[in-house]
Amino acid sequence: MASPHKIPKERPGPVGGKRDQNRRERTAGLVNAGLQQFLQRGIETVTIDEITREAGVAKGSFYRYFDDKENLVAAIMNPFAQQVRDAMKACHGALSIAKTDADVTAAYIALGAHIAIAASTMQDVVRLYLQEHRAPSVGARACIGELSREISDAAIALSQVAVEHGLIDVQDPRVSATAVVGAVEALGLMYLDGRIELSPADLGAMLVRIVLDGIRARGG
């Protein structure tokens, strides 16, 4: 994924100092302005002029903090992307040492809870991901397409680990993983639209149990 954002060429001053604080505030302002514009009109159609106008800064200021629009999108997505990576990594480790059905269930529920909690604190970011990730992965959307592939690959890897350890029974881990990712995305959008009243953690746990009941290795 592209570097989320750059440090301005001029020294920002001591960490926590006034200049550093100003830099952080302006960066956050551009991130928030970009996010709102992208949600309303789509990433590709929004211009840097429109982002800086929304943020209330001069266009030249944008390039002190970001190389281009793709760099800004990466900055928007990176906090959520890192949470997803951390959750997937933890689940992989838990599945690698899982011995029982309860271990498998706990590993996947922890994965779901981690991502659900992160998503609930970054709802606009998640909505942008869901809005854009199936569009062509080009230009400023490239990092979103990269994250989508990363999630798919990680989900398949988790299924493969579980199959190799005899914990779930599926003919092709790619099919089951892709189906689960699709279900999570659809449910996530329903939650964001207010069509599901469960908490994110409860919703994730319910989905895990439904899926595992269907693909769990029998006699384990």
Helix (H, G, I), strand (E, B) or coil at 216: strand
Task: Kindly give the parts of the chain with pLDDT less than 70.
Answer: 1-17, 20, 214-220
Inter-residue contact 140 to 67 (CB < 8 Å) = no
pLDDT number for residue 24: 86
Q: How far apart are CA 178 and CA 202, in angstroms?
A: 21
Helix (H, G, I), strand (E, B) or coil at 168: strand
Q: How far apart are CA 141 and CA 79, in angstroms?
A: 16
Q: How far apart are CA 69 and CA 142, in angstroms?
A: 11
Q: The tokens of 43 are what?
A: 């990433």
Q: The tokens of 7 are what?
A: 């440090």
Q: Which of 82, 80, 72 is nearest to 124 (CA)?
A: 80
Instruction: Using alpha carbons, list the distances in angstroms from residue 86 to 63, 91, 111, 114.
Output: 30, 9, 9, 9
Cβ burial of 38 (10 Å; 0-12, 13-18, 19+) is: buried
pLDDT number for residue 213: 76
pLDDT number for residue 10: 52
Q: How far apart are CA 84 and CA 87, in angstroms?
A: 5
Q: How far apart are CA 151 and CA 85, in angstroms?
A: 8
pLDDT number for residue 55: 95
pLDDT number for residue 170: 83
Phi, psi (deg, nearest 5) at residue 148: -60, -45
Q: Which residues of 59-71 are buried (b: 16+ CB within 10 A; e: fewer)?
A: eebbebbbeebbb
pLDDT number for residue 84: 95
pLDDT number for residue 212: 77
pLDDT number for residue 220: 44
Q: The tokens of 130 are what?
A: 């869901």
Place of tokens 């001053």: 13
DSSP alpha helix (H) spans, 165-218: 173-192, 200-215
pLDDT number for residue 11: 53
Q: Give strand pairing partners of 153.
A: none
Q: Which superfamily does CATH assign the domain made up of 76-215 to?
A: Tetracycline Repressor, domain 2 (1.10.357.10)
